[in-house]
């Protein structure tokens, strides 16, 4: 394909635009650049479904899922992916065929996959979407304007042992409990891969201020420079504060050994933004290992939660092994308990905090 091939609005209207592209105005796209080898993370790719694999549905920019069919046109973001339960892939586009790395709209080249996963859905790339001037459209073009970290904001980090350990459930529950207690709360995802599952979970929890790394111009944070991820977190916090949030619950993807998450946690400047940390684990052994890893970084988790909290025996084992209290989802959702936990975390960090709504602080 040549450079700057015109593309009609009718073709773009037929395409299924993924969640990861949601900030990009569709009318901006009017040309296709066939130089696919030039693609970088965040560039928008128009493609055609070649074969269906693991991802048989796509998460649309409108916030719903759509079944995929052979020959469907899709608009995805070129990007990397790190998912120990699914795929590891990189932001490379082969003109002969590329891989759908995430249902939220990430296209690239799969390097490895979990043995439980089938082969990825294959896509024939048709070109990179460009504007009228021939500039390739990147999600970063429509990101929030960079802003410095706000002063005085209470920020809680939610980290976990791995994927599917209960981080999002914990973050949404805690944000819900604090919202019910009368606080203005933001629920943010600072790292991960573009998808609407966590985003929608925060909205379902009644949180008014919801955003993630795609709002600051990253399709995914895997293999992105630490400085860019840190700047993105600062911008997300600044935007939430500007919209009235006083507390931010910030989820960091994957486990504490994941490269970018570990780098953020070890970075003293990044850590200084956080009032405290919640650790989600699937079982007592993961809780013990996770606490040891966090303590090795100089972080003492305020509480344990996650899948672990569903097992009374697991709770007992984890508390005995770590000395850290385990909190259930139901407790995090309770306004009195969420308020009390937040107050204890702030007291430990020696920051000012006001309980609201007349809710007393539990011991």
* Average pLDDT of the chain, as a whole number: 94
Residue among 60, 68, 58, 125 at smallest CA distance from 92: 125
pTM: 0.93
pLDDT of 240 strictly over 80: yes
Q: What is the pLDDT of residue 353?
A: 60
Q: In 102-140, which positions are buried (b, 16+ CB within 10 angstroms) versus exposed (e)?
A: bbbbbbbbbeebeeebeebbbbebbbbbbeeeeebbbbb
pLDDT given at position 4: 83
What is the per-residue pLDDT across 247-280, written as a single tens digit (0 to 9) for each? 999 999 999 999 999 999 999 999 999 999 999 9
pLDDT over 90 at 361, yes or no: no
**pLDDT greater than 80 at residue 359:** no
All structural domains of the chain: 5-139 (no CATH), 154-349 (3.40.50.300)
200 close to 63: Cβ distance less than 8 angstroms: yes
User: What band does 164 get if pLDDT is binned at 50, 70 and 90?
Assistant: confident
| Alpha carbons 99 and 91: distance in angstroms, whole number | 10
Higher pLDDT, residue 362 or 65: 65
Predicted confidence at residue 1, as pLDDT, reads 46
What does the pLDDT read at residue 360? Answer: 34
pLDDT-derived band at 354 (thresholds 50, 70, 90) equals: low
Per-residue pLDDT tens over the stretch 178-223:
999 999 999 999 999 999 999 999 999 999 999 999 999 999 999 9
Confidence (pLDDT) at 363? 28
**DSSP label at residue 191:** S
Query: CA 43 to CA 140: how far, in whole Å?
Result: 9
Does the pLDDT value for residue 114 go beyond 50? yes
pLDDT at 95: 94
């Amino acid at each position: 394909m040549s450079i700057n091939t015109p593309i009609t609005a009718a073709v773009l209207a037929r395409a299924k635009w993924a969640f990861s592209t949601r900030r990009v105005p569709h009318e901006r796209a009017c040309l296709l650049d066939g130089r696919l080898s030039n693609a970088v993370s965040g560039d928008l790719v128009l493609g055609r479904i070649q074969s269906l694999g693991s991802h048989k549905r796509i998460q649309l920019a409108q916030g719903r899922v759509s079944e995929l069919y052979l020959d469907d046109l899709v608009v995805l973001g070129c990007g990397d992916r790190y998912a120990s339960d699914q795929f590891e892939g990189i932001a490379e586009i082969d003109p002969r065929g590329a891989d759908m790395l995430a249902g939220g709209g990430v296209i690239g080249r799969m390097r490895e996959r979990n043995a439980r996963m089938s082969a990825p859905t294959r896509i024939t790339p048709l070109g990179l979407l460009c504007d009228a001037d021939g500039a390739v459209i990147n999600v970063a073009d429509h990101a929030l304007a960079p802003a410095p970290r706000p002063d005085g904001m209470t920020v809680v980090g939610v980290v976990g042992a791995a994927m599917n350990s209960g981080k999002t459930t914990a973050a949404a529950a805690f944000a819900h409990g604090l919202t019910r207690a009368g606080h203005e709360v933001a629920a943010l995802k600072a790292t991960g891969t573009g998808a609407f599952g966590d985003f929608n979970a925060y909205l379902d929890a009644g949180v008014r201020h919801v955003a993630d790394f795609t709002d600051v111009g990253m399709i995914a944070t895997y293999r992105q420079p630490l400085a860019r991820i840190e700047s993105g977190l600062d911008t997300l916090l600044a935007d939430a504060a500007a919209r009235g949030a006083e507390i931010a619950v910030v989820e960091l993807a994957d486990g504490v050994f994941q490269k970018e998450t570990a780098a953020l946690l070890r970075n003293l400047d990044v850590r200084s933004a956080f009032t405290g940390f919640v650790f989600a684990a699937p079982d007592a052994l993961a809780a013990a290992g996770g606490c040891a890893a966090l303590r090795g970084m100089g972080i003492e988790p305020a509480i344990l939660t996650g899948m672990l909290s569903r097992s009374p025996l697991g709770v007992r084992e984890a508390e005995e092994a770590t000395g850290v209290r385990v909190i259930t989802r139901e407790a995090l959702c309770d306004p009195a308990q969420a308020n009390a936990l937040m107050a204890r975390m702030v007291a430990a960090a020696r920051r000012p905090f006001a309980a609201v709504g007349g809710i007393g602080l539990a011991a």
